[in-house]
DNA sequence: ACAAAGTTAACGAAAAGTGTTTAAATTTTG
DNA sequence: CAAAATTTAAACACTTTTCGTTAACTTTGT
């Protein structure tokens, strides 16, 4: 049984970063170049992104694709779309209108401005009515 | 920008598995040995485990270890322990007694039977009073 | 006990990821 | 603007992961 995705080096850099040190300061401490600290930090972030994406795959594994919510859609129109598609599959959605909007906002905090989506969002649903936005 | 941790092969096997196929059946479909299907599935699970551990690290990155809640502890005794340790650090916990118990139940759904923990649980706290059980 | 399902070990070749360096380019900030 | 901080690119050595094989082993259900 091995550790997580991040190497010792990567965790080291992230910890120092969390403390507010600059890349140059970290480079001095761990005795390497600042450019190297940059690449280490970057690959750490990349690994974190991949870890998230991996768990996202798990969610979609036991869910079915519900619909694509097109860019430009008003956030307040999303629940109706989701409910209508879920009804076609005879699945009762676990969320009410308000909590579904909040769920979307939390799931895709960078996909909307004000009330409008600026990129497509895929909606998935499990047999239990859990909704996942990907 | 690449994909998640899982290879195409690994996702393929997991999808078939979710459909209930045996390793032998999958081996026939993707034209390899059942032993190979086994190792592919195994390394997929290992990757998933590592993805989770990686995100766990993120949580603990901006939190400090609060205490170890020993196996055998009654769930209803946990809040008092957490509050008392948090007080030593002068941090106000974000949760009240009831919601903290629920938070624990959601975080570690497989670590308790009825009202009793059957394995140690580590408690972490952020400066903002957020609690994380790992 | 039998058969099907699943796991493990040892090995090899190909692919992917990591830590470095050096030097140049870009962004942020006072 | 000028200095500091960060990012990028190309190249190299090194390690780890992956997919695959074969053969033996364990578990599970009837």
Residue A51 Cβ < 7 Å to strand C: no
Residue B109 distance to chain A (closest CA, Å): 17
Q: Is the CB of B48 under 7 A from strand D?
A: no
- Can you give the distance from the CA of residue B134 to the C1' of nucleotide D27 in angstroms? 32
Nearest to B5 among A2, A50, A61 (CB): A50
SS (H, E, C) chain B: CCCCCCCHHHHHHHHHHHCCCCHHHHHHHCCCCHHHHHHHHHHHHHHHHHHHHHHHHHHHHCCEEEEEECCCCEHHHHHHHHHHHHHHCCCCCCCCHHHHHHHHHHHCCCCEECCEECCCEEEEECCCCCEEEC
pLDDT at residue B96 greater than cutoff 80: yes
Q: Rounded mean pLDDT of B93-109?
A: 89
Q: Domains of chain A: which residue ranges?
A: 8-52, 62-133
Put simply, the answer to whether B50 touches A18 (Cβ < 8 Å) is no
In this predicted structure, what is the pLDDT of residue B1?
A: 59
Q: What is the DSSP letter of A91?
A: -
Higher pLDDT, B62 or A64: A64
Q: What's the pLDDT at A1? A: 62
Average pLDDT over residues B98-104: 91
pLDDT of residue B40: 97
Nucleotides of C under 7 A from a protein CB: 4-10, 17-24
- Better pLDDT: B75 or A2: B75
**Do A3 and B47 make contact, defined as CB atoms within 8 angstroms?**
no
Could you check: is the Cβ of residue A3 within 7 Å of any atom of nucleic acid strand C? no
Instruction: Please determine, for the modelled complex, whether the ipTM score is greater than 0.85.
Output: no
The reply to whether B2 Cβ lies less than 7 angstroms from strand C is: yes
Chain A residues in contact with B15 (beta carbon < 8 A): 61
| CB within 8 Å: B4 and A47 | no
User: What's the CA gap between A101 and A114, in Å, rounded?
Assistant: 13
Q: Give the per-residue pLDDT at A111.
A: 85
Would you state the pLDDT for residue A33?
93
Q: Residue B59: pLDDT band by 50, 70, 90 thresholds?
A: confident
Q: Count interface pairs A-B at CB distance under 8 A.
A: 62
- Proportion of chain B above pLDDT 90, given as a percent: 75
Q: Please, are residues A105 and A75 in contact by the beta-carbon 8 Å criterion?
A: yes
Mean pLDDT by 10 residues, chain A (134 residues): 86 92 93 94 95 92 92 96 97 94 86 89 92 90
């Amino acid at each position: 049984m091995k550790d997580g995705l991040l190497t010792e080096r990567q965790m080291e850099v992230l910890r120092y970063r969390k403390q507010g040190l600059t890349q140059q300061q970290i480079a001095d401490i761990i005795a390497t170049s600042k450019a190297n600290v940059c690449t280490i930090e970057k690959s750490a972030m990349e690994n974190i992104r991949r870890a998230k994406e991996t768990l996202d795959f798990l969610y979609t594994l036991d869910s079915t694709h519900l619909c694509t919510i097109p860019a430009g859609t008003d956030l307040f129109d999303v629940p109706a779309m989701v409910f209508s598609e879920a009804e076609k599959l005879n699945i009762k959605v676990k969320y009410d209108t308000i909590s579904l909007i909040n769920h979307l906002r939390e799931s895709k905090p960078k996909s909307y401005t004000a009330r409008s989506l600026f990129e497509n969002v895929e909606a998935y649903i499990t047999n239990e009515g859990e909704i996942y936005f990907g």
